[in-house]
Amino acid sequence: MNKNEFLPTTKEEMKKRGWEELDVVLISGDAYIDSPFMGIAVVGRILESIGLRVGVIGQPDINSDVDVKRLGEPKLFWGVSGGSIDSMVSNYTATKKFRNSDDYTPGGKNNKRPDRATLVYTNLIRRYFKNTVPIVLGGIEASLRRLSHYDYWSNKLRKPILFDTKADYMIYGMGEQAIIDLGNTLRDGGDPKNIRGVCYISKEPVLEYIQIPSHEECLSNKEKYIDLFKVFYDNNDPVYSKGLCQKVDSRYLIQNPPSDYLEEKEMDKIASFPYQRDVHPYHKKDGKVKCLETIKFSIMTHHGCWGECNFCAIAVHQGRTIRTRSEQNIIQEAKDFTKMKDFKGIISDVGGPTANMYGYECKKKLKKGTCVDNYRCVDDKRLCKAMKVDHSRNIQLLKDIREVPGVKKAFVASGVRYDLITADKKHGYDYLKQMVNHHISGQMKVAPEHTDDEVLYHMGKPGKQTLIDFKKMYDKLNKESGKKQFLTYYLIAAHPGCKEKHMHELKQFTTHELKMNPEQAQVFTPTPGTYSAVMYYTEMDPFTKKKIFVEKDIRRKEKQKSIVIDKKYQQRRKSNGASLQS
């Protein structure tokens, strides 16, 4: 591997390497940014590390053959990803309005990522390359659509994405080990259908796998769809998970058991590949790519999250077990930053899906896998006693990063679970003290999402008393430090189970308990791969199958949001003499 080169994206770059053809061509809905935070770059570097010749095409023109043909036909396979963000989430708001900007597109204008990008790119390949080598899907857009799934934007249950795209295989989840196995298997002329972490279509069922409700059954019976989703959700852990088999029309979607998680040394190896941490020159002529400002000098410390918020897809894509990098490897990355000419001493983020899950895990889970039967590490009522929260390793890591010569500031911008801080009686206070004194700038973002117990139950979030306790601790530490730093809150309107009366109660809580007026809240978006989307579609609690209220009218969704951000709320209530709405 050349430490000073991007993966090629033009024929000229291939020729400089002495390559006449490529083994693999990767296509992405993002501009090509060579960064450990960009899935297509990570996949490309992994394949390069096993000796394959890899090229990347970012955001190809879908109306001509110019881009899709510019690297030629690969020898082994095409890899297709919708990008770092689901294309439908990237292109539309929760109220289905088109987004004008795209942080992963040069110049920032949203004019390069098509709707259902994975489907469009696969069709683009098929249009210009007949009888080509296998097309392999990957990335979050495909991963969350690997079985029958509710699609909010068309408001219907869609078939597994392999049936829509007619691609040959899919690698689901993070896919690091699966892409190595796939690359080696295809190079050696083997059968990818035996690889863990792979999905494919079969004419015959795999009888030793779990037989889940067919697509037809899910269409005719919403309870069957709940049954399917529960089995899907509970079979993402490589320690114990079985393969899944779903009948779709006259064929079958086969999901092999998940790939094994990476060990610490493997995490370190992938993080140490020669990423250029920049936008490929091919795209630079079209303008800056905004997301690079955030990720260029950021450090990913771990993968996975066991928070299991019902509206979040991390559990089924990254997994519910934390896999960490070593402290030495992370510190070396910080040191490497200081050698880069445009590094100003500021590390934008040190974290992961949940920053303060670094450095500890449930010993039982590591041995036997995640618990099933709806028993979670943390939910709306409690933290499991088996999960021994311990921020000590994280505290030391942050201290070591601060002491790297040339590092002026290392922020923690990733999400932080405040309930874990209050639960850690030994080190939680010290962790928050470090955050207040060294790792935030003016404000700290937390995500209670709501404060009503009924809504929090449906979200899978902790109760409001934990938030009150955390705020007291945060305010105390800021006072002691002499700093005027604030908390900002992520809030969600119109989640399943949430009525207007709940938003009024949330507004009262933020006014009287938090002493603030929220400036922003987001309307809930039902995304594939989440329990909340199942609730939205079925209008049932998937754990009890009891009917729940779901707001589906866009104007009333917007009204829920407006209640909590209304700056003149108290004045209006007083003048109108209004009572809480049901």
User: Do 331 and 387 fall into the same domain?
Assistant: yes
| Gap between the Cα atoms of 378 and 384, Å rounded | 6
pLDDT at residue 567, as a whole number: 81
For 39, 250, 260, 344, 489, the CA distances from 199, given in Å and listed in that order, are: 19, 17, 15, 44, 38
205 part of a folded domain: no
343 part of a folded domain: yes
Question: What is the enclosing helix (H) or strand (E) of 46?
Answer: helix 39-49
| Gap between the Cα atoms of 194 and 364, Å rounded | 29
DSSP result, 555-576:
HHHHHHHHHHH-TTHHHHHHHH
pLDDT at residue 577, as a whole number: 57
pLDDT at residue 441, as a whole number: 86
| Gap between the Cα atoms of 484 and 188, Å rounded | 61
Q: 77: domain CATH number? A: 3.40.50.280
213 part of a folded domain: no
User: Do 110 and 15 fall into the same domain?
Assistant: yes
User: Do 405 and 448 fall into the same domain?
Assistant: no
120 part of a folded domain: yes
Q: 572: domain CATH number? A: 3.30.750.200
Please tell me the total count of domains within the chain: 3
Q: Are 430 and 391 in contact (CB under 8 A)?
A: yes
Output the CA torsion sign for 335, 341, 345, 347: negative
Which ranges constitute the DSSP H helices of 451-578?
A: 453-459, 464-481, 500-512, 531-538, 554-565, 569-576
Beta-ladder partners of 28? 58, 81
Residues 6 or more apart in contact with residue 113 via CB below 8 angstroms = 29, 30, 59, 82, 83, 87, 90, 91, 102, 104, 105
pLDDT at residue 3, as a whole number: 67
User: Do 474 and 342 fall into the same domain?
Assistant: no
Which bin fits 486, alpha (ψ -120 to 50), beta or left (φ > 0)? beta
List, as own/partner pairs, every contact residues 425-432 make where C-beta atoms lie below 8 angstroms and the sequence separation is at least 24, other chains included: 426/390, 426/392, 427/390, 427/391, 427/392, 427/395, 428/389, 428/391, 429/473, 430/391, 430/395, 431/356, 431/391, 431/394, 431/395, 432/473, 432/474, 432/477
pLDDT at residue 572, as a whole number: 65
User: Do 463 and 556 fall into the same domain?
Assistant: yes
Q: Estimate the crossing angle of helix 500-512 against helix 554-565, to 10 degrees.
A: 10
Q: Of 37, 34, 29, 38, whose CA–CA distance to 8 is shortest?
A: 34
SS3 409: strand
Q: Are 496 and 458 in contact (CB under 8 A)?
A: yes
Residue-number span of the structural domain to which 97 is assigned? 11-200+251-255
Establish whether 309 is an annotated binding residue.
Answer: yes
327 part of a folded domain: yes
User: Do 386 and 467 fall into the same domain?
Assistant: no
User: Do 99 and 143 fall into the same domain?
Assistant: yes
DSSP one-letter code for 394: H
Q: Of 481, 348, 328, whose CA–CA distance to 400 is shortest?
A: 328
User: Do 134 and 24 fall into the same domain?
Assistant: yes
pLDDT at residue 1, as a whole number: 54
User: Do 481 and 413 fall into the same domain?
Assistant: no
pLDDT at residue 374, as a whole number: 67
Q: Are 7 and 16 in contact (CB under 8 A)?
A: no
522 part of a folded domain: yes
Q: What is the pLDDT along the chain (582 residues), one digit of tens a residue?
A: 556 799 999 999 999 999 999 999 999 999 999 999 999 999 999 999 999 999 999 999 999 999 999 999 999 999 999 999 999 999 999 999 999 999 999 999 999 999 999 999 999 999 999 999 999 999 999 999 999 999 999 999 999 999 999 999 999 999 999 999 999 999 999 999 999 999 999 999 999 999 999 999 999 999 999 999 999 999 999 999 999 999 999 999 999 999 999 999 999 999 999 999 999 999 999 999 999 999 999 999 999 999 999 999 999 999 999 999 999 999 999 999 999 999 999 999 999 999 999 999 999 999 999 988 768 998 777 899 999 999 999 999 999 999 999 999 999 999 999 999 999 999 999 999 999 999 998 899 999 999 999 999 999 999 999 999 999 999 999 999 999 999 999 999 999 999 999 999 999 999 999 999 898 899 999 999 999 999 999 999 999 999 999 999 999 999 999 999 988 766 566 556 554 444
226 part of a folded domain: no
For 306, 314, 417, 431, 463, the CA distances from 379, given in Å and listed in that order, are: 10, 15, 12, 22, 9
| Gap between the Cα atoms of 450 and 554, Å rounded | 20
User: Do 505 and 388 fall into the same domain?
Assistant: no
290 part of a folded domain: no
pLDDT at residue 569, as a whole number: 63
User: Do 194 and 72 fall into the same domain?
Assistant: yes
pLDDT at residue 331, as a whole number: 98
Establish whether 362 is an annotated binding residue.
Answer: no
pLDDT at residue 580, as a whole number: 43
pLDDT at residue 4, as a whole number: 73
User: Do 552 and 472 fall into the same domain?
Assistant: yes
